[in-house]
Amino acid sequence: FLPNGILPPENFFVKPQYNTWAELIYDQNQENILSYAHGIIDNGYPAGILMIDDGWMRYYGSREFNLARFPYARAMMEELHALNFEVMLWICPFISPDSAEFRELESKKMLVRNADGSTAIRRWWNGYSAILDLSNPETAAWFDELLAYLMELGADGFKFDAGDANYYRDDDLTWGNVTAHDQCMLWAKLGEKYHYNEYRACYKSAGLPLVQRLCDKSHRWGEVARLVPDALA
């Protein structure tokens, strides 16, 4: 996979990358994220890239922050920028079934369907959700519009989580008649236009300017044995 000549931002290589998941897990909220960021600076660590992880949105597929947890999202990101952090938001290709977004996307056949024609509702680590059919240009455009809204709100980029081939099936009915691995590749290619991106699941994307991280490791010393071969790969 020959490189295409474009590199990710230099900040990924010269600054630390902080992620609020390890700090807050599912309890993502404005107050604690700002406390975490100020704590980094107050304790003498350099500012860098700060990723706000899963839990900021109202539900999967929504572009709106959960107001109970993030009453002033724009002001929060402005404060983080004032501390010299670049801010990235966690995002995924899943759509909560009981939502207005689901009803809109399903009616336009923009979601992955099972072989029998029914809308696919797949289990993943956070429960059961529908999945965007990124082989459909209208779906990709809809998602780009969602991300554009978040960047206007203050985000510098996105942590593109999930997208693993195992959440799709080769006999899925899709707009482009693509395989499970093709969907994974389409998810990766979606991030090309966002300079600040991060991925865990990619396929045939080693030549693209995508920041690819290792798969999650549990907090056990035995996991150290997996770090070296994973990092080399």
Terminal CA-CA length for the chain: 14
- Measured at the CA of 38, the angle between CA 35 and CA 42, to 5 degrees, comes to 130
- Taking only the tens place, the pLDDT of each residue in 150-185 is 999 999 999 999 999 999 999 999 999 999 999 999
pLDDT at 225: 86
Grade residue 227 by pLDDT with cuts at 50, 70 and 90. Answer: confident
Which position has the token pair 């059919």? 133
pLDDT for 222: 86
CA distance 20 to 37: 9
Candidates 69, 76, 96, 48; CA nearest to 150 is 76
**% of the chain beyond a pLDDT of 90:** 90
Residue 191 pLDDT > 90? yes
pLDDT recorded at residue 223: 87
In angstroms, the Cα distances linking 183 to 158, 205, 215, 229 are 18, 12, 19, 26
Q: Can you say whether the dihedral through the CA atoms of 222, 17, 194, 125 is positive or negative?
A: positive
Pairing of strands 196-199, 157-160: parallel
d(CA 98, CA 52): 24
The whole-number pLDDT of residue 210 equals 96
Note the pLDDT tens digit of each residue in 216-226. 888 888 888 88
- The first and second tokens of residue 29, run together, are 């909220």
Sheet holding 94-95, edge to edge: 94-95, 127-131, 122-124
Q: pLDDT tens-digit profile of 95-151?
A: 999 999 999 999 999 999 999 999 999 999 999 999 999 999 999 999 999 999 999
Please, which residues have CB within 8 angstroms of residue 215's CB and are 6 or more apart in sequence? Answer: 200, 230
CA 203 to chain centre: 16
The predicted structure's pLDDT at residue 219: 80
Q: What is the pTM of this model?
A: 0.95
Could you read off the pLDDT of 27-72 as tens digits, one per residue? Answer: 999 999 999 999 999 999 999 999 999 999 999 999 999 999 999 9
**Number of Cβ within a 10 Å radius of residue 50:** 23
Per-residue pLDDT for 211 more than 90? yes
The pLDDT score that the predictor gives to residue 59 is 98
> How does the average pLDDT of the chain come out, rounded?
96
